[in-house]
């Protein structure tokens, strides 16, 4: 058993007379600090209550919902009580940080706000055994908080649409690992996946059956479905970041509205996987009418701070036209009350930093002069580390290989702070693991590529640098396998991991 550097050896002390199966530090992502108190284990039983008041009640209710069906106990949520799991709001914790104190008579989970309590609940869940009959939490204290404010996952609904129920299932799973943003890639050459009232053919045509890669991924989100997803995610402290990709990746929009091309001629619908051939017309008024309508409607249904405008792989947009386009687009996002987010190509535009944009780096290089010079905040999605749509190895099913094969260790063994040598660590806002959907068909395909690699990215985003340790990570990951099996999550049983 490997102990985390910050955790004393007692965390993994050998067999005691009745060994607690789970140690205080056996959590994904790794906690910042854990001090075990052997002999202070708390056993959840028939007389255990959950206490909370005010803004803590919602999270308390969610904890009860999680624990009741697995333990079979009543676990009433009350104001006070003995044998309590107490959720407490108190000032002084970092954003999303919490303290979890487990003693023989009482468990106290304290945070400044509900987001911290929710993070603590995710930790608490993993400290319970996968199966009863003894529901024991290991004694001791955890102090935990995130390294980065932005810990994201991305799902491409354009190349293959996923039904809201599938997106919800993904939100459920990623929220267990303290991922707090879900970026939805809602438009691309092969499809348009979000209802826009002022341009109805976008989804009538671009979301029709037969759209998507190989014509196998049709569908779209109505505004109500989108709002419902936003709410569902928010209940799990996940913020949706919607993306409309422009000025490239727009073939589906141009099929629906040929006036969005420079020559006015409708292109043919595309179901292949190529990129870089479509572009909006940077000096046409209709381009900006379209863009503003879409951004206005999207901003109206998005409570989160960010709106992603793509900007990647605009290989058929001349450089000058690209700059013209971004000079108008970036302030437009601001005018509609959102912080612009874009793939790293937008760093070429002075308007990116001028409008406080967040730049999402997806390259494989270790430096980026344009990103460095922009001065903007950066979210790191290096393709050879974080792209969940890359194959694990050439023999596993699904996935692409242009950024290489990415085994679990490849996704884990890097440091976000030092990835770009010319970008200072303070400018890193966080990390994101994108899942492009060219090779996906259903939830099983999605789960196989995402799990376990998305957990590696979650740990790099949440856990302090000093805790990063491959041997520790693979132990904790191996122990998590039965939880996924129980939940029906079809994860990849990487040969690098000793699965329990
Ligand atoms: C590159 S990386 C893309 C996507 C593809 C993906 C496939 C980036 C910003 N764009 O259009 O789906 O590769 O891996």
Ligand 1, atom 6, residue with closest C-alpha: 436
Of 464, 473, 363, the closest CA to residue 419 belongs to 363
- Give, in words, the CATH class of 9-144: alpha beta
Q: Does the beta carbon of 313 sit less than 6 angstroms from any atom of ligand 1? A: yes
**CA-only gyration radius of the chain, Å:** 23
pLDDT at position 21: 73
For domain 150-487, give its CATH number from 3.40.50.720, 3.40.50.1950, 3.20.20.80, 3.30.360.10.
3.20.20.80
Nearest-atom index, ligand 1, CA of 402: 14
Nearest-atom index, ligand 1, CA of 400: 14
Our mutation pick for probing the ligand 1 site, out of 363, 436, 437, 439, counting the most ligand atoms within 8 A of Cβ, is: 436
What is the spatial distance between Cα 297 and Cα 446, in angstroms, rounded to a whole number?
29
pLDDT at position 3: 39
Structure confidence by residue, pLDDT tens digits, 452-475? 999 999 999 999 999 999 999 999
Query: What percent of the chain is helix, strand and coil (3-state, nearest 5)?
Result: 35, 20, 45
Find the catalytic residue in 313, 391, 407, 426.
313
Q: Does the beta carbon of 2 sit less than 6 angstroms from any atom of ligand 1? A: no
pLDDT at position 308: 98
Could you tell me the distance, in angstroms and rounded to a whole number, from the CA of residue 410 to the centre of ligand 1?
A: 19
Of 8, 4, 60, the closest CA to residue 31 belongs to 4
pLDDT mean over 243-259: 98
| Residue 317: φ, ψ to 5° | -105, 120
Structure confidence by residue, pLDDT tens digits, 148-196? 999 999 999 999 999 999 999 999 999 999 999 999 999 999 999 999 9
Q: Does the beta carbon of 432 sit less than 6 angstroms from any atom of ligand 1? A: no
CB 52 within 8 A of CB 58: no
**For residue 401, what are its two tokens?**
């290989």
pLDDT at position 217: 84
Nearest-atom index, ligand 1, CA of 387: 14
Our mutation pick for probing the ligand 1 site, out of 275, 389, 406, counting the most ligand atoms within 8 A of Cβ, is: 275
Could you tell me the distance, in angstroms and rounded to a whole number, from the CA of residue 434 to the centre of ligand 1?
A: 9
Q: Does the beta carbon of 361 sit less than 6 angstroms from any atom of ligand 1? A: no
What is the spatial distance between Cα 337 and Cα 367, in angstroms, rounded to a whole number?
31
Nearest-atom index, ligand 1, CA of 436: 12
Could you tell me the distance, in angstroms and rounded to a whole number, from the CA of residue 140 to the centre of ligand 1?
A: 45
Domain residue ranges of the chain, discontinuous segments joined by +: 9-144, 150-487
Active-site annotation holds for 432? no
Could you tell me the distance, in angstroms and rounded to a whole number, from the CA of residue 241 to the centre of ligand 1?
A: 17
Structure confidence by residue, pLDDT tens digits, 192-240? 999 999 999 999 999 999 999 999 989 999 999 999 999 999 999 999 9
Could you tell me the distance, in angstroms and rounded to a whole number, from the CA of residue 163 to the centre of ligand 1?
A: 21
For the chain, give the secondary structure using H, E and C.
CCCCCCCCHHHHCCCCCCCCCCCCCCCCCCCCEEEECCCCCEEECCCCEEECCHHHHHHHHHHHHHHHHHHCCCCCEECCCCCEEEEEECCCCCCCCEEEEECCCCEEEEECCHHHHHHHHHHHHHHCCCCCCCEEECCEEEEECCCCCEEEEEEECCCCCCCHHHHHHHHHHHHCCCCCEEEEECEECCEECECCCCCCHHHHHHCCCCCCHHHCCCCCECHHHHHHHHHHHHHCCCEEEEEEEECCCCHHHHHHCHHHCCCCCCCCCCCCCCCCCCCCCCCCHHHHHHHHHHHHHHHHCCCCCEEEEECCCCCCCCHHHHHHHHHHHHHHHHHCCCEEEEEHHHHHCHHHHHCCCEEEECCCCCCCHHHHHHCCEEEECCHHHHCCCECCCCCCCCCECCCCCCCHHHHHCCCHHHCCCCCCHHHEEEEEEEECCCCCCCHHHHHHHHCCHHHHHHHHHHCCHHHCCHHHHHHHHHHHHHHHHHHCCCCCCCCCCCCC
In the predicted structure, residue 11 carries a pLDDT above the cut 50: no
Question: Which class for 63: exposed (0-12), middle (13-18), buried (19 or more C-beta within 10 A)?
Answer: buried
In the predicted structure, residue 13 carries a pLDDT above the cut 70: no
Q: What three-state secondary structure class fits 324? A: helix
What is the spatial distance between Cα 381 and Cα 152, in angstroms, rounded to a whole number?
9
pTM value is 0.95
Give the ipTM.
0.94
In the predicted structure, residue 1 carries a pLDDT above the cut 70: no
Structure confidence by residue, pLDDT tens digits, 15-65? 333 344 799 999 999 999 999 999 999 999 999 999 999 999 999 999 999
Ligand 1, atom 13, residue with closest C-alpha: 436
Structure confidence by residue, pLDDT tens digits, 98-148? 999 999 999 999 999 999 999 999 999 999 999 999 999 999 999 999 999
What is the spatial distance between Cα 62 and Cα 459, in angstroms, rounded to a whole number?
23
Of 322, 357, 471, 465, the closest CA to residue 6 belongs to 465
Our mutation pick for probing the ligand 1 site, out of 184, 311, 312, 405, counting the most ligand atoms within 8 A of Cβ, is: 312
Q: Does the beta carbon of 312 sit less than 6 angstroms from any atom of ligand 1? A: yes
What is the spatial distance between Cα 348 and Cα 322, in angstroms, rounded to a whole number?
9
Could you tell me the distance, in angstroms and rounded to a whole number, from the CA of residue 383 to the centre of ligand 1?
A: 9
Q: CA-CA-CA-CA torsion for 165, 447, 210, 255, nearest 10 degrees?
A: 90
């Amino acid at each position: 058993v490997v102990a985390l550097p910050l955790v004393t050896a007692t965390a993994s002390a050998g067999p005691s007379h009745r060994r607690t199966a789970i140690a205080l530090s056996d959590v994904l992502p790794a906690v910042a600090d854990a001090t075990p108190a052997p002999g202070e284990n708390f056993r959840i039983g028939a007389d255990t209550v959950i206490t909370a008041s005010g803004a803590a009640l919602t999270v308390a209710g969610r904890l009860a919902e999680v624990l009741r069906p697995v333990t079979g106990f009543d676990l009433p949520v009350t104001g006070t009580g003995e044998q309590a799991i107490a959720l407490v709001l108190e000032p002084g914790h970092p954003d999303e940080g919490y303290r979890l104190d487990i003693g023989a008579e009482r468990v106290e989970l304290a945070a400044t706000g509900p987001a911290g309590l929710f993070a603590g609940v995710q930790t608490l869940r993993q400290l319970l055994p996968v199966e009863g009959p003894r529901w024991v939490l290991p004694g001791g204290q955890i102090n935990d908080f995130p390294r980065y404010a932005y810990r994201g996952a991305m799902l491409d609904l354009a190349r293959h649409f996923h039904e809201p129920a599938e997106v919800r299932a993904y939100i459920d799973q990623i929220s267990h690992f303290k991922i707090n943003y879900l970026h939805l890639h809602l438009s691309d050459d092969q499809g348009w996946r979000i209802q826009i009232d002022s341009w109805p053919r976008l989804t009538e045509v671009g979301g029709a059956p037969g759209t998507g890669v190989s014509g196998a991924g049709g569908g779209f989100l109505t505004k109500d479905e989108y709002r419902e997803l936003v709410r569902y995610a928010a209940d799990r402290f996940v913020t949706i970041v919607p993306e409309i990709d422009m000025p490239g990746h727009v073939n589906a929009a141009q099929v629906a509205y040929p006036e969005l091309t420079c020559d006015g001629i409708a292109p043919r619908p595309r179901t292949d996987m190529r990129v870089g051939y479509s572009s909006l017309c940077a000096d046409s008024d209709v381009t900006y009418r379209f863009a503003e309508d879409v951004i206005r409607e999207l901003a109206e249904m998005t409570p989160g701070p960010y709106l992603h405008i793509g900007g990647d792989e605009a290989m058929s947009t001349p450089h000058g036209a690209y700059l013209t386009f971004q000079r108008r687009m970036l302030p437009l996002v601001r005018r509609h009350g959102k912080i612009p987010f874009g793939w790293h190509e937008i760093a070429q535009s002075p308007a990116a930093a001028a409008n406080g944009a967040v730049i999402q780096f997806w390259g494989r290089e270790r430096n980026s002069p344009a990103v460095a010079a922009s001065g903007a905040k950066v979210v790191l999605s290096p393709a050879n580390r974080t792209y969940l749509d890359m194959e694990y190895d050439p023999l596993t099913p699904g996935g692409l290989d242009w950024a290489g094969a990415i085994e679990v260790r490849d996704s884990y063994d890097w440091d976000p702070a030092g990835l770009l040598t010319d970008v200072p660590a303070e400018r890193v806002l966080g990390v994101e693991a994108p899942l492009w959907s060219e090779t996906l068909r259903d939830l099983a395909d999605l789960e196989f590529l995402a799990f376990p690699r998305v957990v590696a990215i979650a740990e790099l985003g949440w856990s302090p640098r000093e805790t990063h340790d491959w041997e520790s990570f693979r132990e904790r990951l191996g122990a998590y396998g039965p939880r996924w099996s129980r939940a029906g999550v079809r994860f990849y049983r990487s040969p690098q991991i000793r699965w329990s």
